[in-house]
Chain A
Amino acid sequence: MNKARSNPFNAIAMHGALIAYTLIALFPVFVILINSFKTRKKIFREPLALPDAESFSLVGYQTVLKQGDFFLYFQNSFIVTVGSLFFILLFGAMAAYALSEYRFKGNMLMGLYLALGIMIPIRIGTVAILEMMVQTGLVNTLWALILVYTAQGLPLAVFILSEFMRQVSEDLKNAGRIDGLSEYTIFFRLVLPLVRPAMATVAVFNMIPIWNDLWFPLILAPAEEVKTLTLGSQVFIGQFVTDWNAVLSALSMAILPVLILYVIFSRQLIRGLTSGAVK
């Protein structure tokens, strides 16, 4: 290669800049995690020291587990996220298949109609959504959240999945038709398995915003037994502002599940973001 691109000074400068920014990005998370394991005194006296035998303490976690119902919150978040993803993927894939496979009157128009929601945030309709959920008795149920997140996720899912479904070989589907398979069997047995990577991308894109959302849990499902983890930690921290051990532990407990999900799915997420699926 030529000289200009492999200058050692450039390489050092680039690594320096990246390391500096990585430190900025990780520092707050690091500080929260290490201090959650320390005694109150040490939190204040040496906030940047790692916990050692002397300063190690789990008192914050004990308070959190005693006072807050974090397992319930976690379970609620889990149900809402998995439920929404299931419906987004199933309904989204079905609609994407109809739009990409069949020619019918109004196909274009239907595609545009479904794409509207990519740019318009669903939060604008909150007042009417709440009114509707109150009327149908869904307020303070996990279903309210699942429905909202499904509606919110569908436009982009249909858009991405129909791009991918256009690439599925025509011959394969026609072979299925000649063998007498119904359109439903062709979709579920032949097409769905082939677009699995695209489905994974859609799932990862939707997972994090749903898990992290505060707005809809706050408005549609604030009751204790349906609180999500995000709302639960918000309320808990608000009440325990002065108990630093508890606040730091609650934050750490809210960070961990997302961090684990990220470690598992980061490849998929980054591949999805960089494969041009969002363009």
Chain B
Amino acid sequence: MDRPRFRWHIVVFLAPAVLVYTAVMIFPLFNTLRLALFSKIDQERVFVGLENFQRLFLDPIWSEQFWNALGNNFWFFVVHMLVQNPIGIALAAVLSHPRLRFAALYRSAIFIPTILSFVIVGFAWKLILSPIWGIAPSMLDAVGLKSLFAPWLGKEEYALTTLALISVWQYVGIPMMLIYAALLTIPEEVLEAGEIDGVTGASAFWKIKLPLILPSIGIISILTFVGNFNAFDLIYSVQGALAGPDFSTDILGTFMYRTFFGFQLQLGDPHMGSAIASAMFAIILVGVCIYLFGIQTRMRRYQL
């Protein structure tokens, strides 16, 4: 025998994972992109090229909803980047202090909202913010700020931001943990060297620790981006598929669900749904590529 025996065991080891992954994830992904090029005309599936996208971007009935959802989604993401990640980093910075007592206890407690489902979180906040129950107004009253209360989830101008902040409240645990882990890997000698040069406390954080954890901040940013652009559960459980009031909390996930599944008087249209999914895919792909090629490769990594 010249050639080595064919190693069947490699095939056996790889096959189940590759089959399931290809059949349930990769194939449907491309099939969805393909379905976006079809339309249903008289119960027949007809190839229509880019017509669905033309409708989605240009036809006023569709494009208005699409740009609204996309804009809302960006705002949702911006709130996460501006509130969730800085709070997460600040909590991690405090938690990683070497002499802090009860650090493990705080860490576990702050992480609890992250393990709850959006359904629980959504309804819990809906009840707390509800003007009927009155927990939020009476608590504001206790600190003399009752006049600030408004039915935040019911007002068009506040609803989306309120939902984004609820989502921030829930997910702050993830950046906190990842940054905490990154901060723990910074060797003591580096910090001591800084101390000898008089860099301590807050300036040690800004000048020594922050540059060292930049790669982790990059990772949280892209995780936040991907997570936000396929978010759905929270909006759906709090505001329903119509993402009220008056679509002011509609994001791409709820828009796609409504379009493809149908809701109330609107009939489901899998082909338009696929077109929206393709647009989401493109947005996420662009985001991931910017991260991989534009940010990650340029970021300086320090050998510790």
CB distance from A37 to the nearest CB of B (A): 15
CA distance A132 to B35 in the complex (A): 13
Contact, CB under 8 Å: B117 / A214: yes
Contact, CB under 8 Å: A47 / B134: yes
Question: Which residues of chain B have C-beta atoms less than 8 A from A244's C-beta?
Answer: 127, 133
Q: How many residues of B contact A (CB 8 A)?
A: 92
Question: Which residues of chain B have C-beta atoms less than 8 A from A122's C-beta?
Answer: 24-25, 29
Please tell me which stretch of A56-64, A88-96, A171-179, A194-202 contacts chain B, meaning at least 4 of its Cβ atoms lie within 8 angstroms of it. Answer: A88-96
Contact, CB under 8 Å: A22 / B216: no
Q: Is A55 an interface residue (CB 8 A)?
A: no
Q: Is A206 an interface residue (CB 8 A)?
A: no
Which residues 1-52 in A have Cβ within 8 Å of B in the complex? 1-2, 4-6, 10-11, 14-15, 17-18, 21-22, 24-26, 28-29, 31-32, 43-44, 47-48
Q: Is B109 an interface residue (CB 8 A)?
A: yes
Can you list 6 A-B contacts with CB-CB less than 8 angstroms, sorted by A residue number? A25-B172, A28-B125, A123-B232, A125-B31, A150-B20, A151-B24
CA distance A111 to B133 in the complex (A): 53
Instruction: Taking A154-B20, A187-B13, A259-B112 as given, write out 18 further A-B residue pairs in contact, using a Cβ cutoff of 8 Å, ordered by the A residue number.
Output: A5-B200, A14-B100, A17-B90, A29-B116, A32-B124, A44-B133, A123-B253, A124-B230, A124-B277, A124-B280, A151-B24, A155-B21, A158-B17, A215-B233, A215-B253, A258-B115, A262-B112, A274-B180
Contact, CB under 8 Å: B181 / A22: no
CB distance from B272 to the nearest CB of A (A): 10
Q: Is A212 an interface residue (CB 8 A)?
A: yes
Q: How many residues of A contact B (CB 8 A)?
A: 96
**Per a CB cutoff under 8 Å, which of B24, B25, B94, B120 touches A255?**
B120
CA distance A121 to B29 in the complex (A): 10
Contact, CB under 8 Å: B230 / A123: yes
Q: Is A112 an interface residue (CB 8 A)?
A: no
**Per a CB cutoff under 8 Å, which of B7, B110, B111, B113 touches A104?**
B7
Contact, CB under 8 Å: A152 / B25: yes
Question: Which residues of chain A have C-beta atoms less than 8 A from B17's C-beta?
Answer: 91-92, 94-95, 114, 154, 158
Q: Is A203 an interface residue (CB 8 A)?
A: no
CA distance A131 to B123 in the complex (A): 31
With A22-B110, A124-B284, A266-B108: A234-B7 Cβ-Cβ less than 8 Å: no
